[in-house]
Amino acid sequence: MEMEMLGNNSELKEKAAVIEPMLKTPKHIKEGKKHFQYFYTLVAGLMAMQSGMKLSWTSPSGPYLTSDQSFIPGMTENHMSWVCSLMALGAILGAVPAGKVADKMGRKRTMIISAIPFFISWLMIIFTRDLISLYIARFIGGIGAGAACVIVPVYIGEIAEPSIRGALGSFFPLLFSTGVVFVYVVGAISEYMTFNIACCITLVPFLLSYFLPESPLWLVQKGRISQAEKSLRVLRGKSYELKKEISVLQEEADRVESRKGGIRDLICTRAGRKALSTCVGLMWFQQMCGIDAVLFYTVKIFQDAGSTVNPFLATIIIGIIEVVMAVVVAIVIDKFGRKPLLIISGVAMTLCLSVLGYYFKMKTDKQDVSSIGWLPLTCLSLFNVVFSVGYGSVPFAVISELFPPETKGVASSLSIMVNWSLVFIVTKFFPSMVKATGPAITFWTFGSMALLSAIFAYVFVPETKGKTLQEIQTKLAREKVKVKQILTIK
């Protein structure tokens, strides 16, 4: 027993040696100006808008492509499911190397590169007229979306001050939702060619990315201190006192220097394992509540429901609600915290999906639902509201906060890869599941996942509101120390 306690104490000292430099980090750094942080977050977030456009593109395009007027004759629902899901497969391929590329080439340059697949994809959709080319275009567009979902939250998390990091992290889902609404609106009022040209033109504002400042943390890690100071001047204002923040970043860079930042560093520490399991869990529940089945097949869901509201109008309403709620989340996330929003989101989604499932059961049982034809729009609208409040926005903010710099790239790639893998599964098999079990069972299944998401958030997700990146790592590492101390005493 004595030898065991000595071994435990040795491990505790080893952990303490890692934690001690973090505890010496200055806690009170006078904050700089915020407007440039918001502006550059907005520019970087334009890639999120492209991702949202790619994801929801099939909702207005699907009914046309499977109609008699389509330029692809004989296109079936099975073909359409591949058009939907191939984008997710491309996103997996884009997410895998994005973190490592960003660690080597820098956050800014990687974001610029990620715009190229989007551009190629839109050109192919505009100028080609066969099914195989459409498959390839969707796959290539997915590569850009997967890379953007990895690098943009990381960049935003590293340029933001702790007091507004949650709000800035919410810009990613906000602009993602804006891209969804753009597609819904333009797709509803314009023909196929005009619609896709408009989508391609939205890449033009991203040319401003040339003027983005590089992540100060990444620059310090590379030993480019003078450039890091210039970047902070741009982000925090000319009168900002740089030395304290530079010293914090330098301490973090020194701690990281001896580590390779690969999978081993991620899974061999308590902080890394807890952060990874938390983010993978958030990605799992974000998709398994069925949000992307709704995004991909919104118009068809309303058509199948026999809703008294025009399907295209209902789709636009849902998209606008999602944008509005993303704005609300950006305002409240740093006031209420991440964890409460996730719990509220999970419980409320469960209620919305349960009611929607019951509506479809009534319709399947041949009951008269004409008097409640408004119910599908109400349920899906509320579902989008409560999804945006928590699971739509918070996971991307959490990804940018939980990982230390040496593992942030690979961890973000793994988390986003899981996310897009689930997007593929949900969007590819959603039509088959509806056909096999019926829409009621399908939505009740999503509802059960939403309930589990609330439990997961309550039990496993740590609160990161108002904490610096170094304090978050200290908190995650400390938990292991406390556990070992308890075991030693016993």
The pTM is what?
0.69
pLDDT band of residue 123 (cuts 50, 70, 90) is very high
- DSSP annotation of 74 reads T
154 with 378: CB under 8 angstroms? no
pLDDT of residue 140: 96
* pLDDT given at position 333: 67
pLDDT in the model for residue 98: 85
Which is nearest to 59 in space by CA: 313, 294, 364? 294
**Is the pLDDT at 330 greater than 80, yes or no?**
no
Integer Cα distance of 480 and 18 in angstroms: 12
What percentage of the chain carries pLDDT values higher than 90? 16
Mean pLDDT for 14-24 is: 40
Would you give the distance in Å from CA 61 to the centre of its chain?
24
3-state secondary structure at position 432: helix
Residue 21's pLDDT is what? 41
Amino acid 154: pLDDT: 84
pLDDT given at position 142? 92
Q: Which residues contact 6 (CB under 8 A, 6 or more apart)?
A: none
Residue 469's pLDDT is what?
60
Cα of 260 vs its chain's centroid, Å: 26
490 or 464, greater pLDDT:
464
pLDDT tens-digit series, residues 411-436: 777 777 888 888 888 878 887 888 88
The CB density around residue 385, as the number of other CB atoms within 10 Å, is: 20
* Position with higher pLDDT, 308 vs 318: 318
**pLDDT interval class at 11 (50, 70, 90):** very low
